[in-house]
Structure 1
Amino acid sequence: MASGFGYYGNRSRCFTFWQEFRKCYAMADRPEQCTLQMDDYFECLHHTKEKARAKAIKDQELKLNEEKKKQDELSRKLTDSANKSNVTRLGIIDNSVKQKEASN
């Protein structure tokens, strides 16, 4: 689409990047001087950096979801065990026995 015409007759989405790259390439002494403009143009065409960023974000989101599931499972197990032995964990029985012994 370097011609500048898009699908509907207007300028293509990357035409301005192409113009910048072409202008730099025409004026540069060495082609290496235009790597930034070339990178911008290729990113506009192929979206490689955008796709890599989206993949990294998705991977991080999946990792955080897995960690949250593990944390939720652990807290659920702790809650279940606390519910099963709540009376003894609170020390209600031991304290009442000690109070009776102390009063006698």
Structure 2
Amino acid sequence: MASGFGFHGGVPRCFAFWQEFSKCYAQSDTPSQCRPHADDYLECLHHTNEIARAKAIKAEFVRKAEHQAHEGRKAADILADGVIVGVGLIQRSGEGQGK
């Protein structure tokens, strides 16, 4: 950002945040007043909050997938214990007579 030009020429992506921060810093009495502007600029540069949010979403997705796999494994174990499950191809006596 030292030159003021983006990677492919023109205005860099975070230049607007930098202008807001520098304007605030020039007009304020204490630098702590400009902390929100500095945070916005640093987020634009490094994407720390965005990365943390993406990691949290991925962790939740993995947790749910593991839970579903565990529940599926329980159902498969029940079926593997010898319980006969009908698929509805053959009607047994007493089934379907009310139709």
What do you get for the CA RMSD once the two structures are aligned? 1.9
Greater relative contact order (Cα < 8 A, sep 6+): 2
| Rg larger in structure | 1
Residue correspondences, number: 86
Task: Supply the AA of the counterpart residue of 2:23.
Answer: K
TM-score computed with the length of structure 2 as normaliser: 0.78
Q: Is residue 2:72 matched to residue 1:72?
A: yes
Which stretches in structure 1 are left out of the alignment for 5+ residues? 87-104
Q: Secondary structure at the match of 1:19?
A: helix
Counterpart of 1:14 in structure 2 is 14
Gaps of 5+ in 2: 87-99
CA distance in structure 2 between the aligned counterparts of 1:67 and 1:33, rounded to whole angstroms: 46
Query: What is the Cα deviation at residue 83 of structure 1?
Result: 1.8
CA distance in 2, matches of 1:22, 1:74: 60
Q: How far apart are residue 39 of structure 1 and its match?
A: 0.4
User: 2: CA distance between counterparts of 1:20 and 1:2?
Assistant: 17
Contact 1:2/1:15, CA 8 A, preserved across alignment: no
Does 1:39 pair with 2:39? yes
In 2, Cα distance between equivalents of 1:37 and 1:2? 19
The answer to whether 1:28 aligns with 2:28 is yes
Identity of aligned residues (%): 48
Distance of 1:66 and 1:54 partners within structure 2: 18
TM-score when normalising by structure 1:
0.75
**Separation in 1, partners of 2:11, 2:85:** 72
